Structure 1
Amino acid sequence: MNIINQCQRYLACTFIFLTLIIGNAAAQSVSKTPSVLGLNEVWEKVIQHNKTIKIEGFRVAASTEEILDAKAERLPEIGTEAEYGRVSNFGLFTKGILHKPELLPVEHTLYKVGGDAYLNLYNGRKTRTNISRQQILHELHTERRNESVSEVKLQAATYYLDLQRSIAFKSLIQNNIADQERQLKEICQLHINGVVLKSDVLRATLQLSRQKLALEEINNDIAIAQQKLNILMDEPDDQVVIPEPLSASQPSVLLKYEDYLAQAMQRSHQQKISEEETKLSKLNLKDVKANVNPKIGLYANYAYSYPQIQFYPYANYLYGLGTAGIKASFAVDAFYHNKHKVKVAQIELQSREMEHLRTQDLIRQQVNEGYLRYNEAMNRIQVAETNVLQAQESARIVTNTYFNQLSLVTDLLESNTQLLQTQFDLAAAKIAAQLQYFQLLNTIGNL
């Protein structure tokens, strides 16, 4: 009777424990209506609402305005000026500064209103170079935004697959707990009948407790993955996202390694960013070399002034005067001041070209690793499926032999653990294959 009461108390505690877990999950889901989202729907929300992508979008918009500003430098420079002043008395110290000066009559009021304009005709093509620089910067910011979109999509896929895996683990361990509870009842009954020892009951109870703690850990993993995914989508933390069920079908590599490598060299974000940065270094060298070129432009100005004191004879009258012409300037010192600047720009270009080659090596390595790891993950799925079938058969045989008193309880518990572990491995292998495929797409710039 003592054993019966102990088993009944344990089963009651188990029921209360599961009720609390289910109730807690239900309470958390009341706040927000659960939404079933596929990965493509998650990506749409991320692209629309993610803060990192928005920040990169602002930079692209700012670079567009920078291009317009650079083109506006071709327009003439126009300025106006106005001046008003009062002239003091003109003191002439005929007897020295210590004696009172002789005051001469002057015009005390002075003013001037005018304007000027300058149109650049040639400045070593620096204006055109600056426009090209801003256009390249715009392409660079655009490509960095595309890279951010790809990286955020990969991050969202990682969290989504983590959530998918944890939910699959939760279903597996809940089924395992249910099976363990049924086995515990049978073991308790066998102990009551004097067939098995009390140690069998204690070991089965201990394993069931461990599984329940593992279930609590999985629930926490689900909550953490939920919050990470919600943050990426700019959703409230308590929004419940239900992923699609873990599919048995996995994407397959249809192309050869060489084909993926060719795509990466053409479409990879790292490759494009490195190309744009190399173009910037080339433009910088061109701009530095242009420092020794002359500057030529048209100028014009006109002003009304009072009084007329610029030309003789002077007169206390308002007069207007304008000039127009062509202006040319040349910095002679640029020949020796610019020499070292050109050397620095050339070295920076060489460094940038070497960095570009290193980027290509890195891309080639990443494509090769991603290709091999994906094929490895696909093979792991096949092995995991075979292991599950073998573990199921092993668990069935050991269960029958134990309850027929032909094996030990340790064999029974070990077979149950092995079956659950192989089921975990299969679910994890499917998730890992999908993630490896997305990482490969991200590397070649096709995510």
Structure 2
Amino acid sequence: MCLHKLLNLGRFTGVMIVMSVSAVAQEHPVYLLNLDDALRLAEKNNAKIIRYGIESEIGEEMVKETKEQRFPEIDFNSSYARVSNITEFTNGNFGNSKITPIIPQMYGSGLTASVPLYKGGAINAAVRKSEIENEMIQLNYQKTIKDVHLEVASLYLGVYKLMETKKLIAENIEEEKKRLREVQSLYKNGVVTKNEILRAELQIAEREQALLANKKETDIMLHEIRLMLQLPEEVHVEVDSTRLLSRLMYKERDYQGIAATGNEELLLSRQGEQLQHLNVRIARSGYYPQIRLFGNYAYKYPNYMFFPPDPYPYTFGQVGIDAVFSVSGLYKNRAKVATAKKREEAARSEVQVKENEIEEKVFRNYTQYNELLDRFPVAEKAEQLAKENYRLVRLQYLNQLSLVTEMIDADNALLEARYNKVALRIDAAMKYYELLHASGISLTLNNNN
């Protein structure tokens, strides 16, 4: 395995980081971040989570707004006017006229109120619809938190893998330098050629280039972490890898059962089906009459209930029930109801599709996680074999029983075996987090166990 491939570590999709201040003897503050704290810090500071948090608050207010449809509509009105005398034309338009003096001013105030009693079930359906929409907003909020958690965890484990790779390369460089000194000693004694010294120096140069590439990739991922956590630009982030994988252990759970009640995507699809069912009910309300209770009370001057009007203020009120039935709704509402029913059918099908997707996703992650666990002893044995092979080839080389290319191959095989062992454990941790995410289990809850 070439070193360029060794450093091509890939990107995960989300990790969280928490910070505890380390010694600040430098120009810029340094924060040592562990995964648990990073997750909580992301939940508090991440811009995407904050935006969806505001959306969740809006959803709660929308429910209150919809419930207000049940409240009475109350209006207060007041007016004042100057009026002219009444002019009557007794001989056609603008012919002879007759002027009747009247009271020159009018004023009054009043209250009107109406309460919806029945609208074909539309009000109750609208309230329930707003509640479901709010539940969907809350689910999206929780889903966003878990998605960001996974992104932070992915970045965190990505940085950890780069850190472990850096250690392996640094150790390998020291081993290469030691071997270079041995080759130089053999060269002085005329045992090997100058070419073998050049090959050893070239190997060290390649390792040093790999180390530089590793540093740049680490800086990039740490910058992404700082952005996700909204840490100040001048803050230097360092990953606290102690105990990071110490809790990696297999837990026998019914992940499919947990996903059926905890995966936000699946729950959102089910809520979407309920939403479309309510839209059918709202559409059908057009077939039914609308009934409301109304009342009004007024204080007015003068009394125009009589003519000529009496120059006295008066009060007048009424209470009653009115009903409106739209006859045209019997034939104009059919297409609307049919469309709503089709959308309900589509939403029902979407639930089945989403159930299959989640089941497949959970099963795939569960299977892959167990596969990685099964490969642990294989990786351990491969490292031991690579060590023994390197030891034997090195002895043979020093005794001029093997070629320098065989020595380099053995060295690369040992580095690859060590890397595979480290990478396998980190990949298993990431796959476990992906399994939890697919099942709808919070990473923070898992980490606190």
- Partners of 2:35 and 2:244 within 8 A in 1: no
Number of residue pairs matched by the alignment: 418
Partner in structure 2 of residue 22 of structure 1: none
Which range moves more in the overlay, 432-441 or 38-47? Answer: 38-47
- Partners of 2:33 and 2:237 within 8 A in 1: no
Partner in structure 1 of residue 337 of structure 2: 342
Q: Give the drift of 1:49.
A: 1.8
Partner in structure 1 of residue 238 of structure 2: 241
Q: Distance in 2 between matches of 1:115 and 1:250?
A: 70
Cα distance, 1:421–1:250 mapped onto 2, change above 3 Å:
farther
- Partners of 2:245 and 2:426 within 8 A in 1: no
C-alpha offsets along residues 186-244 of structure 1, whole Å, 9 cap, x if unaligned? Answer: 22232233221111111111111111111011111211121122222221243313222
What aligned pairs does 1:22-421 form with structure 2 within 5 A after superposition?
A: 30-88=26-84, 90-92=86-88, 104-237=100-233, 238-245=235-242, 251-255=248-252, 259-421=254-416
Which range moves more in the overlay, 161-170 or 194-203? Answer: 194-203
Partner in structure 2 of residue 442 of structure 1: 437
Structure 2 counterpart SS, 1:312: coil
C-alpha offsets along residues 119-162 of structure 1, whole Å, 9 cap, x if unaligned? Answer: 22222232222221121122111111111111111111101100
TM-score computed with the length of structure 2 as normaliser: 0.87
Q: Distance in 2 between matches of 1:29 and 1:159?
A: 27
Q: Give the drift of 1:103.
A: 5.2
Structure 2 counterpart SS, 1:30: coil
Q: Distance in 2 between matches of 1:219 and 1:112?
A: 82
Q: Give the drift of 1:323.
A: 1.7
Q: Structure 2: which 5+ residue stretches go unaligned?
A: 1-23, 443-449
Which range moves more in the overlay, 235-244 or 57-66? Answer: 235-244
Cα distance, 1:338–1:311 mapped onto 2, change above 3 Å:
farther
Higher helix proportion, which one?
1
Q: Which amino acid aligns with 2:60?
A: T
Residue identity over aligned pairs, in percent, reads: 29
Q: Distance in 1 between matches of 2:181 and 2:65?
A: 80
Q: Distance in 2 between matches of 1:285 and 1:31?
A: 65
Q: Give the drift of 1:91.
A: 4.7
Q: Which amino acid aligns with 2:393?
A: V
Q: Distance in 2 between matches of 1:248 and 1:296?
A: 66
Q: Give the drift of 1:104.
A: 4.8
Which range moves more in the overlay, 323-332 or 307-316? Answer: 307-316
Structure 1 counterpart SS, 2:309: coil
C-alpha offsets along residues 81-102 of structure 1, whole Å, 9 cap, x if unaligned? Answer: 1223333565555677678966
Which range moves more in the overlay, 49-58 or 437-446? Answer: 49-58
Structure 2 counterpart SS, 1:305: strand
Q: Which amino acid aligns with 1:243?
A: D
Q: Which amino acid aligns with 2:262?
A: R
Superposition RMSD in Å = 2.3
Q: Distance in 2 between matches of 1:390 and 1:236?
A: 47
Cα distance, 1:247–1:392 mapped onto 2, change above 3 Å:
farther
Q: Structure 1: which 5+ residue stretches go unaligned?
A: 1-27
Q: Distance in 1 between matches of 2:154 and 2:284?
A: 49
Q: Which amino acid aligns with 1:422?
A: A
Which range moves more in the overlay, 369-378 or 101-110? Answer: 101-110
TM-score computed with the length of structure 1 as normaliser: 0.87
Q: Distance in 1 between matches of 2:48 and 2:418?
A: 37
Cα distance, 1:247–1:60 mapped onto 2, change above 3 Å:
closer
